[in-house]
Every structure is written in C-alpha cells, then in structure tokens.
C-alpha cells in the first residue's frame, strides 16, 4: 500500500481486495453510477422494443379491420350488382 502511495496510485488499492472493495469511494461511486446508467439504458431499450411491438400489433389490427371493412363493402356492392342485373334481366 505504501508503494502505491509513492507511485501516485493512492486510491487504487486503498481497501481490502475482496470483490469490488479494492476501489476508493469515488471510483466505486462512479462504477455504481455507470452500472445504474447501464441498467437504465437497458430498460429504455426494452421499453422501446415493447412500444414498437405494441405499435406493430395496433397497426396489424387496424390493417385487418380495414381489409374486413373493404371486403364487406365489396360484398355489398357485388350483391347489389347481382341483384340489379337479375332485376334487369327479369324486366326484359
């Protein structure tokens, strides 16, 4: 430890070396801050992915509803056309 102080590495080995306790409080604090920042970033990515998937589901549901509405409209138009053609043939 004294050799560390002499070469200018005072805070590097200032505590017992067991796990992460070998760092000085500032370095440990920065490590914790980085870890929390990393966790927050990962949470942001997960939330972004969830939002993207939710938007995809909403888009798919809207597209399906639009297709169904278009199909119903086409069916009604086709039915009217067939009925109109039948009436026209019957009146001839």
pLDDT per residue over 12-48, tens digit each? 555 555 555 555 677 777 778 888 888 888 999 999 9
Over residues 38-91, the pLDDT tens digits come to 888 899 999 999 999 999 999 999 988 888 888 777 777 776 666 555 555 555
Q: How far apart are CA 89 and CA 77, in angstroms?
A: 18
Sign of CA dihedral 42, 44, 45, 49: positive
> Model pTM greater than 0.75?
no
Q: How far apart are CA 26 and CA 22, in angstroms?
A: 12
Count of domains observed in the chain: 1
Phi, psi of 35 (to 5 degrees): -60, -45
Structural domain harbouring 22: 2-91
Please tell me the chain's helix, strand, coil percentages from 3-state DSSP, rounded to the nearest 5.
80, 0, 20
């Amino acid at each position: 430890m004294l050799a560390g102080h002499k070469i200018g590495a005072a805070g590097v080995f200032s505590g017992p070396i067991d796990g992460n306790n070998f760092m000085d409080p500032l370095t440990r604090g920065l490590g914790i801050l980085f870890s929390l920042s990393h966790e927050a970033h990962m949470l942001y990515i997960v939330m972004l992915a969830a939002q993207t998937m939710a938007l995809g589901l909403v888009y798919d549901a809207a597209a399906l509803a639009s297709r169904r509405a278009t199909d119903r409209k086409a069916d009604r138009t086709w039915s009217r056309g067939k009925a109109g053609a039948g009436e026209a043939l019957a009146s001839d």
